[in-house]
Amino acid sequence: MENGARPRPAAARDRRFRREGVGANMIQAIHTQVEGRARFRIEGLFGSEHLKRVLEQRLFREKDIVSVSANILTGNLLVNFNSNNNHHSIGFLLEDILVEVHEKGLPAIPPAEPLEPKARPSPARKLPVETLKRFLSPEAEGPAHLQKPWHTLDASAAAAIVRTDARTGLAAGEAAERLKAYGHNELPKPEPRSGAEIFFQQLNSLPVMLLGAAAGISVLTGGLLDAAVIGGVVLANAVIGYFTESGAEKSMESLKDLVHPTAEVIREGRPVHLAVEEVTVGDLLVLKPGTYVAADSRIISADRLSIDESMLTGESLPVHKEPARLRHENTPLADRANMVYMGTLVTGGQGLAVVVAVGRFTQVGMLQALLAETQTPPTPIELQLARMGNQLVMACGAICGVVFGIGFLRGYGLVQMLQMSISLAASAVPEGLPAAATINFAMGITDLRRHGVLVRKLQAVETLGAVQTICLDKTGTITENRMAVTEILAGRTRYAVVGDTFGPAPDGRDVLAIGEIRHLLIVCALCNEIKITVDKESGAVNLFGSSTETALMRVAAATGIDIAGLQEDFRFVGLRLRAENRLYMSSLHSCPSEDCRYIFSKGSPHDVLDLCNREMVDGR
């Protein structure tokens, strides 16, 4: 022993080992670079001959273990194993052994010392070794990653494999480490077209190439004026196309900064709102109506949960979700009822799910990668212009060749006939056609931009002009995801709302003096899932929640409703969310001064009206 330190008595060492508890935090893999060999640091092994014998005897019983050696002087354990294992599966095995030692193999703790609660074996240990190796392998590029069948695992096993607590989620420090390891939860961004690429795309057509070749030959043969005219037409065509398309490209890039989606996760037992990019593997994702799923996740709990997966599967109706495991690995994506996928929309109920894949490793990330490899088909006008250009080039080439051959055979000079052929080719090819087409396309793009429509490629204008019906996606995909109240119907009277504030009432009264409106705004202020935060520096109030509820809360606050005071008086007791077969939500609140409770409901007008048996008239 160093510095003359004495080894602790065995009983004391065993008591220390028992007090510190058993779990994955007592096992640290310190050397795993050599295949089939791993070295672990086991807390409690230092100086404990008893634990050394237990570990060696138990590991020798495993058929896949080749050799094992425990060192009580260093507290390290060296394990050699066959190819059916890896250091992750050995770690689960060690965890089970330590649990068994904790429960059965050590002397009892004296009554004066409190007993630790019994540790439970990891649910992942019950899985076959091959399955563990498959799920614990490093992240693979391409479709290999998506072959991990998370839907075939129990929810507890899935949480154990990603090393997260199914109740409290990740610790802040662990989440930061995983964010570094897995990267930000964002899809690969396609590279924008460079200025040079946009410019040279304007020259990528056969008629333009023929004109360029004609200009080059004119320079070589002394026809500088002809070359200047032809080159000017080609350059003007390219410049017009370049400035038009580059402007659209910049506008589209700026649109990416308009929407900043957020997600709600459980970390250290508390709900946390953060940017979607900060969600990482192992996070507990809170699923609520009106929110988008931030990452591919395995459902842990669900209450009437339904998800709109139309963007991924094409299924128009919401899909009911539940946490029960599925037996078959080859279950189609649309039938995996215990999984939720990035980009899908929660339409009803509520649930909790553990994140198993982020960013490019998600299903939608793989789809985006496949789409990026797909070549964009040419537009109809591009096909027509290319066909006409090819025909003109072939016809002009044949005619010029015949003229050149006849003149040369009749004794005309080589340079003279070459200049004549070039002049004939330049006059036969409609050099104004590319410029005319480009100018027309640019005028169309400019006109559409004035109406708020951005077109990325010039030739797409012709295709867009042939469109008769446009089917738009949901709010938040091609919009700002910001709802606004424009009109309120209360007391059988319509009231206009502009910029979150009411216009003048028909009879000139203050809107808050109208009982129907006041009670309606109170319900909006109390029956919601909005989280309110106040910026300490600026004092600005921030609302976090669905866009619809946020819009209703903004109107209530702008009208003068004391939301904080209401929430203080009517204490929140419970919430029942909207579901697929119940198109309204209800919240339960205690009364401010009486021994009673209020239920506030909002949702589909037909469903809410079916719950009512009275009508408020003149505020009563």
Please list the active-site residues: 473
Note the Cα 255 to chain centre separation in Å. Answer: 17
**Residue 374 is encoded by which pair of tokens?**
């797909």
Question: How far is residue 360's CA from residue 364's CA, in Å, rounded to a whole number?
Answer: 8
Question: How far is residue 167's CA from residue 286's CA, in Å, rounded to a whole number?
Answer: 12
Q: Is 264 helix (H, G, I), strand (E, B) or coil?
A: strand
Question: How far is residue 52's CA from residue 75's CA, in Å, rounded to a whole number?
Answer: 9
Residues 6+ apart with CB under 8 A from 481: 259, 261, 475, 547
Q: Phi and psi dihedrals of 488, rounded to 5?
A: -130, 135
Residues 6+ apart with CB under 8 A from 292: 261, 343, 344, 345, 346, 476
Positive or negative, the CA dihedral 361, 362, 366, 371 is negative
Question: How far is residue 494's CA from residue 295's CA, in Å, rounded to a whole number?
Answer: 42
**Residue 477 is encoded by which pair of tokens?**
């995909």
Contact 400, 174 (CB under 8 A): no
Per DSSP, helices labelled H in 183-269 are: 195-201, 206-220, 224-255
Q: Which residue has the tokens 């309120």?
A: 488
**Residue 147 is encoded by which pair of tokens?**
């072959």
* β-strand pairing of 27-31 with 531-534: unpaired
